[in-house]
A and B are shown apart, each in its own frame.
Chain A
Amino acid sequence: MDIVVCVKHVPDTTEAEIAIRDDERGIKQAGLVFDISEADNYAIEEALLLKEEFGGSITVLTVGPEEADETLRMCLAKGVEQAARLTDERFEGSDSFATARVLAEAIKDMDYDLVLTGVQADDDGSAQVGVTLAEMLGIPHAALVVSTEAEEDEDRMTVHRELEGGLHEVLEIELPALLTIQTGINEPRYASIFGIRKAMKKQIEILDLDDLELAEEAVGEAGSKTSLVKLFIPVVTAQATILEGSPEEVSSELATILKNEGVV
């Protein structure tokens, strides 16, 4: 089973101080640690598990700057065969639609049975690239996938999707297909430092706009359907009330408040 996985190199904002750039269209990156977007890490693991069971090869793709090689190398260290990075100044300002278009151009002539993406990226959380990419590639998709079952040489596979209220939906899907992978579907393996160092020897293919059959107007801001107006940090409003007194007094006061507010 040949699999293409799309990943994104994003800032890990664990307890980090987030500051907005002066142009209000991004965050300041100094001092931030970058890593693979969490759901994409699960997508990589799912691809590795499928490969271990059915054979085939995995290609990892990213649209991003040179620093994204760190994420690609981590994927190579885990057992991915090929990696390619799509980098071009003219891609800058691409929204989810234009990003999906860049990926679609890179993927469309490849041989694959499955395309995997994370369900959404940790930074913009838009959850659109995967499903848009499926549409552009003209293949079926399933989003929010929480488990996969495949059989040797079958042209269909079974996937479970997570729905609201704890429901699971089971789908059969025709291959090739695109799945957006939900976190928790597996336990991603660890990429050791020695493994990553060894992966330094593997080639990362670098593609720019001229390598794709795309016009300049099809990417970047010109090729986007949405444009980012501004980013801001919501104003913190202090609305907490601290109740004081004995447990009996506090609980009765709390009950009164909840009743008055129409919560219970």
Chain B
Amino acid sequence: MLRTRKFVEQYDLLGCIQCGRCTAGCPLSLTSPLNIRSIIYQALVRDKLDVKQMPEIWDCTTCSTCTLRCPKGLDPAMILVGMRRVMTEGGRVKPTVRDALESTFKFGNPWNRGKAKRADWAQDLNLKNLAEGAEAEILYFVGCTPSYDDRVQAVTRAMVKAFEKAGVDFGILGNEEICCGSEMRRLGEEGLFEFLVEENLELFKRYDIKRMVTTSPHCYNTFKNEYEGLDFEVQHYTQFVADLIERGELAFSGEVPPTMKVVTYQDPCFLGKQNGVYDEPRAILQSIPGLKFVDFDRSRERSLCCEGGGGRMWVEASSTSGERLAETRVKDALALGAEVIATACPFCMLTLEDAVKTTGAEGAIEILDIMELVAQAM
């Protein structure tokens, strides 16, 4: 049960003018009964809310379209996270969420994988390990899903290939790297998030980290905007690589590979909407020789979320009616004549790949990370 008085103060809900711009822009309204405007209204007029009877609060992907559109500067997505906290801190979460949270506490990743296996993807790559005394200018923060997921590991290897070609002085934290906590916070586990912040800050201090590049927009966003006391530069790889290309440090072979295709780009919400990084990923794609770039109609600020964020990798939607947004995205891309949807986020990659299978579009369209396209053209 959520007592609303303190909650209203904490999230500044009296500032809400019920204009409805949040709900009107919510991509989930296409498939879910989730109505953030109505939820805020109920919090304002009732003494308590029975969040247990509101499964739709788990549908939110925290894409933050609502936050971007709110004329009063409220953060509706995080209001829903505040409601999730009541459930999570009371222990009442779906088993999939429980397992992800427990795994993150025990092993430093939400995938129930052993700590000792985290850097297996890099076993044959001979990378500098900053946790074993090596020194480098840049920490490549790999992230949990890229470290353990077979498909996304291909992205980390492409990243390494490009960094090495450009002569970047970088290293990893190997098996000592742990979860950034972005998704744990959004699953309502603020205590676990705080624990991970402390652990990570201590790690970065111990190994004297001065600059960081991440694979995932989720790690990037949380390190950049939510880690108090993190005092060095954090970049998403698209920013870092766009810069390498612009300065001529990463050059393409110049030959147009015969396989080069028509490519569109899925804006990750945590990179675009939440951090305004729209141009760099497009600049990289457009610099690849022979690549034909076409933008989605719904792109940049209006981009359609893939439904992989906000902890949704571990939560099935409350309503199964309607199409998954990732499926809509695949169909839109096909209609656009794209042969590839380029991604810059491990969650987008996985949700879109699933959608390619469920829409029967295998063979017609491929999901590739920007770095995979870069590595192909080098």
Partner-B contacts on A (CB < 8 A): 12, 14-17, 31, 33, 35, 77-78, 187-197
Contact = CB atoms under 8 A, between A and B. Distances in A.
11 contacts: A16-B114, A16-B116, A35-B106, A188-B98, A190-B91, A190-B92, A190-B101, A192-B191, A192-B192, A194-B191, A195-B191
B249 to A, nearest CB: 38
Interface of B, helix, strand, loop or mixed by DSSP: helix
Given A14-B107, A33-B106, A35-B106, A190 B88 contact: yes
B98 A192 contact: no
Nearest to B191: A193
Interface in B109-160: 112-117
A190 B105 contact: no
Contact of B116 (A17, A78, A187, A194): A17
Contact of A33 (B101, B115, B117, B195): B115
Contacts of A77: 91
A14 B112 contact: yes
A195 B102 CA distance: 13
B280 interface: no
A197 B191 contact: yes
B190 interface: yes
B95 interface: yes
A12 B91 CA distance: 21
A192 B116 contact: no
Given A15-B116, A190-B97, A195 B106 contact: no
Given A12-B106, A189-B91, A194 B113 contact: no
A154 B92 CA distance: 30
Interface residues of B, number: 26
Contacts of B194: 193
B114 A192 contact: no
B51 to A, nearest CB: 15
Contacts of B191: 192-197
B333 to A, nearest CB: 35
B349 to A, nearest CB: 23
B113 A14 contact: yes
A192 B88 contact: yes
Of the candidates A15, A16, A193, the one having the most CB atoms from chain B within 10 angstroms of its own CB is A193
A2 to B, nearest CB: 22
A33 B175 CA distance: 14
Nearest to B108: A33
A92 B60 CA distance: 51
A189 B98 contact: yes
B107 A192 contact: no
Given A192-B192, A193-B191, 19 more contacts: A12-B106, A15-B116, A16-B114, A16-B116, A17-B116, A31-B116, A35-B102, A35-B106, A189-B91, A189-B92, A190-B88, A190-B91, A190-B98, A190-B101, A191-B91, A192-B91, A192-B189, A192-B191, A196-B191
B89 interface: yes
Contacts of B189: 192-193
